[in-house]
Structure 1
Amino acid sequence: MLSMKKFFVTTSLLLTSVSALAEMYWQADPNPPHFCMQNFNAYGPIYASRKEERTDFMVAELTGKPRCDIIHLQEVWNDSQINQVENGLKSLYTISSPNRQEKIGVMSLMMADMKKTETHDFNINSDGNILDRGREMFNVKKAFHVVQASMYGIDEDFYFMNTHLHPTSQAVRLTQIVDLLQWRLQNTDLKLLLSGDFNGDEHSLERSVIMSLLGVHDSLLETVGGTYPKGLCTYCAGNPLGWLLSDHILDYIFFSNVGRATTHLRAYDGEINLRGTPRKPLSDHFGLRVQFSVEPAQVQPVRSVIEDRRVEALSLLTQMETILGKEKKKGFVEYAMKVRALKNQLQNRQGDFNQYFESYL
């Protein structure tokens, strides 16, 4: 009996030790998983100079270390430039090139498993001006491309949305933002990373609308302490390929923490890159590169913050409705009505948009 008792005691101690070791082994990694995302407008329209040379230099920089896991490109318009990008990067990245099927200019490259892709043309791509009529003649349009992807070492998928908004018309850009929002309201299960050339600078109504209605954070802004330093720009007056006489931020990587997973994204480092040289820039835009970590704890929305945001969102929706209501071209009236419906949901605190709005993290 004594030896049997000794056996049980020994076995119990052994199991306790194994359990303690297992607990130590499975303890949460103090360094959360992280990834890098790059956005760049490659400036590839037919009239742009030095496309082949600039694309070669861009590819060389993107293949250099440290590499980004996710790359979103805009303004890659023609087959020869698409071939340059694909041939230079296909050994490192899985590539989705919807710009081969339609003249939309966007392509996405990932060190990730692309589980699903979809592309949507914007419903309104023109305000009727002469440049838009020329684009329509050549079937050039703006769109957004979405990839659902998973990355090694991260236990959740993400939606990566790549877009390029209208270059000149604020009213058209506002309808396009509504299209982005309507897609998001149908796809709230995963966190969203939205990047591109938004043609609205850091002081614009469009940027405010995107952040307020889609519930996203401006990743670069968060990495520089919440205020953009003077002189920071992605479209800069000193760039010889540029068309503007002042500095602006037109390119962003936004992110939304709404989703099922009990984690949250944090942007912890960012930089303006892909500049080229002062005399030979890589594009009329500079690139944007941001490092993200996937933090283990989910942040909970605070009611008082939600209500402060509601006041801001209602003001922005009123401005949008006024701007869209002034447009005479077919289609804008429908968008003014959509905006009014969104405003009614926030005011009445009901509906899918209100539910999404109140879940912003």
Structure 2
Amino acid sequence: MSKILLIVLANITACFATNFTISTQNLWHYTKSYESRLDSLIQNIDTEKAEIMTFQEAWKSIGGKSLFNVFIENEELNVHYYKTNNTIIMREGLAIASTYEQVGKKLAYTLPHSKKIFGKRIMIVSKIRLSNEKEIYVINVHFSPFEDRKHERVDQLNFVIDKIRNHFSDRPVLLTGDFNQDQDDEFYRPLYDLGFRESARKDQIGCTFCSENPLTDAPFNSKLDYIFYQEEFLKLENVRKTFTENPISDHFGLRAEFSFH
């Protein structure tokens, strides 16, 4: 087949491609059980990765260990990485990696209650071109942890919603990340009112921060990780948890497939 024909076919495919996959994964910024986690990642990455991937605690140790780097090393990916916390032994951040082009400026905002040392809370945004006709915004967040900081998470969610309303309402939005907040309709009501829905509720898919995960260091059964989408623009085709049999983190990930209406 001629090179010209291949280019034409690729352009036609890009114009009509409407289905895409997206995942979110907290990578747990500790090197505990690193070798077994790395082995699980290498064995399962082909089935668990997505065309768009968002990461929290995307870390690299001073010794060169990094699950995040494994995710992105074998692909021609476009990566938006924003450093959040540095220590003597570890560097970590938020990331959006995609097989699709990320166009325009890659943005980052400091969330309310962000701390300068060991507690920086950030929202990053990428505009992703899925085809010649379709562009979306992907937002990745990591909210404050711990049960007694729900008031911080409320302020952080309201900040994100304000940004979406005022700066990112001209294209469909996917909001992903570790919200550190279990399924709570009152907490997430402002997102519902804005037309967002979870790709999976807890009663459908179960927990993502779970005592059944041997890497989770406490008896929790919480759904902290989410992929929110706007029903007006996108149709959920399927969703599932990732890395459940052999975990790579104290969080299970989520992977969803969407199409346009």
Q: Do Structure 1 and Structure 2 share a fold, with TM-score over 0.5?
A: yes
Give the equivalent residue in structure 2 for 1:253.
Answer: 227
> 1:163 & 1:60 partners in 2: Cα distance?
28
Q: Helix, strand or coil for the counterpart of 1:33?
A: coil
Contiguous gaps of at least 5 residues in structure 1:
1-25, 127-135, 222-226, 259-263, 296-361
Q: CA separation of 1:40/1:217 partners in 2, compared to 1, >3 Å: closer, same or farther?
A: same
> 2:94 & 2:186 partners in 1: Cα distance?
24
TM-score w.r.t. the length of structure 2 is: 0.79
> 1:79 & 1:143 partners in 2: Cα distance?
21
Give the equivalent residue in structure 2 for 1:118.
Answer: 107
> 1:206 & 1:52 partners in 2: Cα distance?
37
Q: Give the structure with the larger strand fraction.
A: 2
The structure that has the greater radius of gyration is 1
Q: How far apart are 1:95 and its partner, in Å?
A: 1.5
> 2:59 & 2:18 partners in 1: Cα distance?
34
Q: How far apart are 1:200 and its partner, in Å?
A: 1.1
Alignment of 1:255-270 (within 5 A): 255-256=229-230, 264-270=233-239
CA offsets, 1:241-295, max 9 Å, x none? 224424221111001256xxxxx21002111111243xxx311110111110112
Q: How far apart are 1:210 and its partner, in Å?
A: 3.0
Give the equivalent residue in structure 2 for 1:224.
Answer: none
Give the equivalent residue in structure 2 for 1:95.
Answer: 79
Q: CA separation of 1:78/1:142 partners in 2, compared to 1, >3 Å: closer, same or farther?
A: farther
Give the equivalent residue in structure 2 for 1:185.
Answer: 165
Q: Helix, strand or coil for the counterpart of 1:172?
A: helix
Give the equivalent residue in structure 1 for 2:20.
Answer: 35
On the 8 A contact 2:38/2:248 being kept in 1, the answer is yes
CA offsets, 1:73-120, max 9 Å, x none? 111234557865335524422222112787763111101110031011
Q: How far apart are 1:36 and its partner, in Å?
A: 0.6
The residue identity in structure 1 corresponding to 2:53 is I
Q: How far apart are 1:59 and its partner, in Å?
A: 5.2
Give the equivalent residue in structure 1 for 2:142.
Answer: 164
Q: CA separation of 1:242/1:207 partners in 2, compared to 1, >3 Å: closer, same or farther?
A: farther
- Larger relative contact order (Cα-Cα within 8 Å, sequence gap ≥ 6): 2
Q: How far apart are 1:142 and its partner, in Å?
A: 1.2
Give the equivalent residue in structure 1 for 2:7.
Answer: none
On the 8 A contact 1:104/1:141 being kept in 2, the answer is no
Q: Give the structure with the larger helix fraction.
A: 1
The residue identity in structure 1 corresponding to 2:97 is L
Moved over 3 A (4+): 77-84, 100-104
On the 8 A contact 2:59/2:67 being kept in 1, the answer is no
Q: How far apart are 1:163 and its partner, in Å?
A: 0.7
CA offsets, 1:132-176, max 9 Å, x none? xxxx4x343111110001124x62210000111100201100110
On the 8 A contact 1:104/1:142 being kept in 2, the answer is no
> 2:66 & 2:214 partners in 1: Cα distance?
26
On the 8 A contact 2:85/2:118 being kept in 1, the answer is no
Q: Helix, strand or coil for the counterpart of 2:24?
A: strand
Give the equivalent residue in structure 1 for 2:9.
Answer: none
